Amino acid sequence: MDRIRPGESPKVSLDILRSVEHNVGMPNRSRKPKRRPDLAKIAKRIVDEATGEVPPTPAQDSGKDPNAVALGRKGGLIGGKVRAANMTKQQRAAAAKRAAEARWGKTKR
């Protein structure tokens, strides 16, 4: 192989570059490791709750205001109907065409 002079870049075959797969062997993980639940503890808790030895576990709070959730759902349920009622036939057809293209026009990898 020829020596590389200062200021020159090495000549590398494109075939070699194409054959190199990047990140081979690197773990696919998020920043925080996932903790697996202990099934024995979960089973014991279920049995204890069923027999009345401990009080039932309260449902997890999603952190959302139930009134705001209900109001948003109500608006979402009537929003499409009102929007469609205010559109012309051509506008509804164009919206339906865009929606169909967005849903079915994607190419599969």
Q: Got the DSSP string for 63-84? A: SS-HHHHHHHHHHHHHHHHHHH
Tokens 């090495």 sit on residue: 10
Residue 101 CB-half CA count within 13 A: 6
SS3 for 50?
helix
From first to last of the 109 residues of the chain, give the pLDDT tens digit.
566 676 666 665 555 555 555 555 666 666 667 778 889 998 999 999 899 898 888 777 667 788 888 888 887 788 888 888 999 999 999 999 999 999 988 666 5
Q: Are 32 and 44 in contact (CB under 8 A)?
A: no
